Amino acid sequence: MSVFTDRLSQRFQTLAPDLRGYGKSHPQGDFQMEDHLTDLEALLDRFNIDRCLVLGWSLGGILALELALRSPQRFSGLILVATAACPRSNHPPVSRSDLVCTGIAGIVNWVVPSWQWNIETFGRRSLFRYLLGEQTPTAYRYLASDAVSAYLLTSKAANRALNRALKGGYNRLEDLERIQAPALLLAGANDCHITPQSTQETAQSLPNSEYRCYPNTAHLCPWEIPNRILEDIENWLDRYPEIFAARSQLFPQQP
């Protein structure tokens, strides 16, 4: 979440917790996706935060929606990135060659970040081509600095909880009318993990929302065009000063 907090923390108090089973948050045995919500509410209570804005990317966006549905009075606004209340995917089948090229591209990029030869030779043939609309050095720097460690620190329990939730399906579109807070939804036009159409459908179901879709980007759009996305977020925040009228904090969640 540093792509957001490095800049937004200059204006707001920001909290970017590791979800249970991710990063440095180690689970005690198996858990359910609902446990993330309990953890996040407990964190807000710990910091005596009665009202805040929540930013969620991918899985974090789904959790942000669930938090707002649980306690709509607690959240003054939502920023949802590459996510949806009824997520749909059109990801192509994964081949052995995809996996091999992804492993090589990831390791080489971790050792020599943003090496153009690696991007052209292995990156464009790897699964990164589905995560990034354009294979740019900026995006590959984020892959080296943040993605590798995040992948390695994701626990088996977290993967099991996510897989169980995916098998059960998810659709909260009909409930979104209960969320009256302003919402900004951002999507990459080439996102095949959570399609931009499903993100737009979510925006249309929220009573007070704006939707923006960025061409030539995909699921990791904040790493592809960070400056443009941050400018759009800050401009949106400036248009809704009431979000911060009562001791609000900006509270991002991990994707």
Q: Are strands 75-81 and 52-57 parallel, antiparallel or unpaired?
A: parallel
- The alpha carbon of 252 is separated from its chain's Cα centroid by a whole number of angstroms, namely 9
Digit-coded pLDDT (tens) for 65-95? 999 999 999 999 999 999 999 999 999 999 9
% of the chain surpassing 90 pLDDT: 87
Q: Token pair of 101, please? A: 């090229």
Q: Which residues neighbour 55 within 8 Å (Cβ) at sequence distance 6 or greater?
A: 1, 4, 64, 78, 79, 80, 81, 250, 251, 252, 253
Whether 173 contacts 203, CB under 8 Å: no
* Geometric angle at alpha carbon 151, from 110 and 55, rounded to 5°: 110
Digit-coded pLDDT (tens) for 179-195? 999 999 999 999 999 99
Distance CA 63, CA 66 (A): 5
Domains belonging to the chain, first-starting first, are 2-90+155-219+226-252 (3.40.50.1820), 96-152 (no CATH)
This prediction has a pTM of 0.91
